[in-house]
Every structure is written in structure tokens, then in C-alpha cells.
Amino acid sequence: MKIEVDIDRIRKLSKEREEENRAFRSFLKSSGIHPNKIDFVVQKLSKTISSRIDCQTCGNCCKEILPVLKENDAINMARHLNLSINEFKKQYLVETETSDGYTFNTNPCPFLEGNSCSVFDVRPEDCRSYPHLHKKNFISRTISVIKNCSVCPIVFNVYETLKNEIWAMDDFDEYY
């Protein structure tokens, strides 16, 4: 399996394949394949592909995505930086539009140094979880997955491999 890691090429290919990606999303939703089977395959692909990609050579998620921080994330980061929670919020955060947490007040992430996280050990849960491919209900999250194809080499390669494996397969249920 060839892995694409060039983020400029990934952006270009994601744009070119936008219609195809939406068609695959529709196929998944109407295919009758049990969502747990799709989750299993996605998680398997994610483990295989992420083991071959060094996120620190990319860091694109930190450049393009604003994670949602919960109160506990903010407290841990403030403590790590020897700031009061109020100082930390004032200096680095804004409330989300839905008031379900905070996001950073700048993009890229203010803690991105080169392509690495300077607060890696206390990074927000949303960052720890990214690219969220380990989560259940992949089929219900495919709109955000398609958006993330142009951001993350792992997501791009998982989605492309998933398309190749499932669309090419005659009897997915028997294979998995």
C-alpha cells in the first residue's frame, strides 16, 4: 500500500476527489454493511497507516484545526505553564460559539513549534484523540472525515484505502 504524505498533494487530491468522496459516503450509508464492521476496518487501517506516518513531520492539524478545549484541558495547560486559569484563558482562549468549551484565539495553535507540540504531555483531549478514527460510528461522522482528508495524511490514506477495499469487494460481509 502506497502512503501519500505530501500535504500539498493531499490537498490537491482531496479537492479533485471531493465528489467521489461524497459518493462513497452515500454508498456507505446505504450499503447495508453493519456500522461495526466499517468501524473495525477503519480502526485496523488507521493503526496500520498511522504507524507509517510521523505526525511531527507534518503538524498540519495544528496549523489548520482549532480543537475544542474543555475546562479540565484549560486547567491542566494553565498549570503546566504556571499560569492561573484566568490568565491562561485571557492569553490563549476564546469561548466556542456553542459555549461547550474553548478554542485557541489564534490559528495555527499557539503551542506549535516547528511541527511539534510544545505542551504535548498536557495537550487537550481533542488533540489527543485526533484524527478520531478510533471512535465508533465512522459512517455517521463521514462529513467531518471528508473535511479532514485535506488536513491529515492519516485520514486521507485511510479513506482512500477504505474506498479501494470496499468498492472493489464483491462480498464485504463475508470477507470481514
Q: Is 108 domain-assigned? A: yes
pTM above 0.85, yes or no: yes
pLDDT at site 99: 79
**Same domain assignment for residues 43 and 76:** no
**Same domain assignment for residues 125 and 138:** no
Last residue of a domain, one of 113, 129, 145: 129
**Same domain assignment for residues 50 and 73:** no
**Same domain assignment for residues 76 and 27:** no
- 22-69 pLDDT, tens digit per residue, is 999 999 999 889 999 999 999 999 999 999 999 988 999 999 999 999
**Same domain assignment for residues 13 and 55:** yes
Q: Which amino acid is at 58?
A: C
**Same domain assignment for residues 125 and 141:** no
**Same domain assignment for residues 141 and 107:** no
**Same domain assignment for residues 73 and 115:** yes
Number of domains in the chain: 2
Residue 122 DSSP code: G
User: Residue 124's domain spans which residues?
Assistant: 66-129
C-alpha 48/C-alpha 42 separation (Å) is: 10
Q: Is 2 domain-assigned? A: no
- 68-120 pLDDT, tens digit per residue, is 999 999 999 999 999 999 999 999 999 998 878 999 999 999 999 999 999 99
Task: Go through 146-159 and write b for each residue having 16 or more CB atoms within 10 A of its CB, e for each that does not.
Answer: bebbbbbbbbbbbb
Q: Is 41 domain-assigned? A: yes
Q: Is 1 domain-assigned? A: no
- Of 135, 132, 104, which Cα lies nearest the Cα of 119? 104
**Same domain assignment for residues 76 and 102:** yes
**Same domain assignment for residues 70 and 103:** yes
**Same domain assignment for residues 125 and 137:** no
**Same domain assignment for residues 53 and 139:** yes
